[in-house]
Amino acid sequence: MNLPLVLDFLRQLAANNNKAWMDAHRADYHQARAEYTTLVASLLRDASASLEPGLRGLTPSDVMFRINKNDRFQQSDEPYKRHMGAGLKPGGRHSPWAGYFIALEPGGETYIGAGRWMPEPQQLARIRQEIHYNAPAFHAVRQDTRLLRHFPLGLDTSQSLKTAPKGYDRTDPDIEWLKLKSYFVWQSFSDAEVARPDFTTRVLEAWQAAKPFVDFLNEAMKAEE
C-alpha cells in the first residue's frame, strides 16, 4: 500500500478544499482512497482475528468514514475533511460501541485511537456508574503500563464537565474521571512514521494494548441491557 500517496493527496486537498478542485481531481481521490482502503482492509482482517471478534464480517466500507463533511459538525466552509478515517467497531463506524480508530492526515496529524468518543447520555451514565462501582478495575486499565507505552498521554481529558455530573458528589475521589464526557486514548504519528513498513504493525500493537480499556467500556455500556 502507498500511504505517502494518500498523504500527498490530502495535502493537496487541504490547499484546494473546494468542489471544483475535487471534481477535477476525482481520479486522484479514488486512487488515494483505494490505497487507504487497502490499509483498512489489512487492519480489519488482523484486528478481527486477534483483537475483536465482533469485527468479523465487516468490510472496509462498513468502517470507513466519508470524506465529505457532515453538516452537523461543520466548523468551516470547507466541504471536505482533511483526513481519511475509519472506526473499527462491532456493527460498523456508527455503532454505539467503543472501538478502534485511525485517521491519516499530513503534517504529523495522523492519529490512532481507542475507546468511546462522546458517547450518548445513556451510555455515558453507564460508564460513569461502572467507574463509580468498580474504580479499581477502571484505574487498572487506564494506568496499564502497556497502554501508556503506546498512548503516553493517557485518557484524553479535553472533554470534561465543569462540575460534578448529576448524582455524584464533587468530593468523590474519582470525580475528575466521572466528569469526562469522552473515554478515549489517542497517539499521533509523523508522516515519516506513516511511511514506514512497520506502520500497520505498530497500529495493531497499540490497539492490542488498548483492548482491556475498550473491553471495560463495552462491558459497562451493556451492563443493563
Whether 183 and 217 have beta carbons less than 8 Å apart is answered as yes
Q: What are the boundaries of each domain within the chain?
A: 3-221
Confidence of residue 70 (pLDDT cuts 50, 70, 90): confident
Tell me what the mean pLDDT of segment 174-202 comes to.
97
* C-beta separation of 78 from 69 below 8 A: yes
From the CB of residue 166, how many other CB atoms can be counted at a distance below 10 Å? 8
Percent of the chain scoring above 70 in pLDDT: 96
- Reported confidence tier of residue 69, pLDDT bands at 50, 70, 90: confident
Binned at pLDDT 50, 70 and 90, residue 79 comes out as very high
Residue 82 has pLDDT above 70, yes or no: yes
Q: Which CATH class is domain 3-221?
A: alpha beta
Distances (CA, A) of 82 to 1, 46, 62, 187: 20, 26, 20, 18
The yes-or-no verdict on residue 72 having pLDDT over 80 is no
Q: What is the pLDDT of residue 225?
A: 46
Short-list 89, 2, 17, CA closest to 51:
89
Q: Tell me which H or E stretch contains 116.
A: strand 110-116
pLDDT higher than threshold 70 for residue 215: yes
Place of cell 486512487: 31
Q: End-to-end distance of the chain based on CA atoms, in angstroms?
A: 41
- Give the span between the Cα atoms of 48 and 219, in whole angstroms: 18
pTM of structure: 0.93
Q: Which residues of 110-139 are buried (b: 16+ CB within 10 A; e: fewer)?
A: bbbbbbbbebeeebbbbbbbbbbeeeeebe
Judged by average pLDDT, the poorest of 53-67, 74-88, 120-134 is: 74-88
pLDDT for residue 71 is more than 60: no
Across 13-42, average pLDDT: 97
Q: Is the pLDDT assigned to residue 115 strictly greater than 80?
A: yes
Q: If you average pLDDT over residues 118-142, what whole number do you get?
A: 96
* 124 pLDDT higher than 80: yes
Lowest-confidence pick of 26-30, 194-198, 220-224: 220-224
Pairing relationship of beta strands 110-116 and 99-104 according to DSSP bridges: antiparallel
